[in-house]
């Protein structure tokens, strides 16, 4: 669905100012938007998944381990597809609390694409270099939104999501490095125009939420605090927007309509999108692995 048609519908959860901010700047931060009853349920479910990670000795399809991870002291970068590993996450992702937020920026009919839980363990976690998301999972239009929920809240020193306001209106950058590997980052000479004072990184108490458009340049710094920074990231689109490449993060839930009705026509935005590798053949491996490999290549290693 295109922005004009979305904006013609009355807002469900967002104020008109919040909605305008999303469409003009490519994101909006909402302090404490998710209720305490949900953040408590998510924290308990996350605790069970973290507990199960104690038996992992290396990263796999579910857990991306942080350096120093052990059975005694779990340290995680990410849990892939938490909705497929704990029912509470799917319950939440399809709840009115989340889908009403999505509906305000993608339209009344909402489709699920994928989700991940970035725990970003305290001390030593890597950050994310500047990138745009849509090149990893192109759709027939640019309606997809990632809704990020800080389950425990987030302080500035914890490496919050950081956005470049208005960058969704600019070009899509290549996510490939010079060796032809999909590096999930904008080459540093191409990103050199981004200054620290242009960037916005909303933070706040548990339940603080960021709605991030799929073209918006974003990244994040290391978590320099002692505390983990769990951020649940769930991706939705308009029901009439279709992904046309395999998902880097597959799930049996991909394509489920979580609000409203399925589409009878597809929506198209003709602005071109770079294609990712064939994830079904190549596998994804996660942004850290890909960004680190690109660093080694550009250092000649
Ligand atoms: O978790 C973070 O700090 C950043 C996540 C991100 O940029 C992504 O998953 O695309």
CA gap 202, 235 in Å, rounded: 19
234 lies in a domain?
yes
Domain range enclosing 42: 3-127+137-164+195-270
The confidence score (pLDDT) of residue 300 equals 35
Residue to mutate, 78, 118, 216, ligand 1, most ligand atoms under 8 Å from C-beta = 118
**Residue 179, domain member (yes or no):** no
- Quick check: is 15 in a domain? yes
Closest CA to 104 of 63, 147, 67: 147
Q: How confident is the model at residue 293 (pLDDT cuts 50, 70, 90)?
A: low
Atom of ligand 1 nearest to the CA of 159: 3
The domain total for the chain is 1
- Could you tell me the pLDDT band of residue 282, with boundaries at 50, 70 and 90? confident
Token pair of 300, please? 């000649």
User: Closest ligand 1 atom to the C-alpha of 116?
Assistant: 9
- Decide if 233 is inside a domain: yes
pLDDT at 284: 82
Please state which of the ranges 42-51, 131-140, 221-230 shows the lowest mean pLDDT.
221-230
Write the residue with the smallest CA distance to atom 1 of ligand 1. Answer: 118
CATH number of the domain encompassing residue 82: 2.60.120.620
**Has residue 151 been placed in a domain?**
yes
pLDDT score, position 262: 98
Helix (H, G, I), strand (E, B) or coil at 257: strand
Averaged pLDDT for residues 50-74: 94
Look at residue 297 and tell me if it is in a domain. no
Q: Say if ligand 1 is within 6 A of residue 291 CB.
A: no
Q: Where are the alpha helices (DSSP H) in the chain?
A: 3-7, 16-25, 36-52, 87-93, 96-106, 279-282, 287-298
**Does the C-beta of 235 come closer than 6 Å to ligand 1?**
no
Percent pLDDT > 70 in the chain is 94
**Residue 185 maps to a domain:** no
For residue 174, is it within any domain?
Answer: no
Q: Is the Cβ atom of 25 under 6 angstroms away from ligand 1?
A: no
């Amino acid at each position: 669905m295109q922005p004009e048609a979305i904006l013609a519908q009355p807002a469900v959860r967002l104020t008109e100012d919040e909605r305008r901010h999303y469409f003009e700047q490519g994101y909006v931060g909402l302090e404490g938007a998710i209720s305490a009853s949900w953040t408590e349920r998510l924290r308990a479910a996350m605790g069970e998944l973290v507990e199960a990670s104690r038996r992992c000795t290396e990263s796999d399809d579910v857990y991306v381990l942080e350096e120093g991870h052990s059975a005694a002291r779990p340290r995680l970068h990410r849990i892939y597809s938490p909705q497929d590993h704990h029912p509470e996450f799917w319950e939440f992702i399809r709840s009115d609390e989340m889908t009403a937020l999505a509906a305000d920026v993608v339209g009344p009919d909402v489709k699920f694409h994928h989700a991940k839980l970035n725990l970003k363990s305290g001390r030593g976690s890597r950050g994310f270099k500047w990138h745009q998301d849509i090149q990893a999972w192109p759709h027939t239009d640019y309606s997809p939104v990632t809704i990020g929920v800080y389950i425990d809240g987030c302080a500035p020193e914890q490496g919050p999501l950081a956005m470049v306001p208005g960058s969704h209106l600019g070009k899509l950058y290549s996510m490939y490095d010079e060796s032809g590997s999909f590096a999930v980052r904008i080459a540093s000479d191409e990103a050199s125009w981004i200054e620290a004072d242009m960037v916005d990184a909303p933070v706040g108490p548990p339940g603080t939420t960021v709605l991030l458009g799929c073209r918006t340049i974003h990244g994040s710094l290391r978590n320099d605090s002692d505390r983990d920074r769990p951020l649940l990231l769930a991706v939705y689109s308009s029901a009439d927007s279709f992904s046309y490449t395999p998902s880097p993060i597959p799930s049996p839930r991909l394509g489920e309509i979580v609000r409203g009705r399925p589409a009878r026509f597809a929506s198209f935005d003709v602005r071109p999108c770079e294609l990712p590798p064939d994830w079904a053949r190549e596998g994804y491996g996660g942004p850290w692995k890909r960004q680190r490999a690109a660093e080694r290549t550009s250092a000649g290693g």
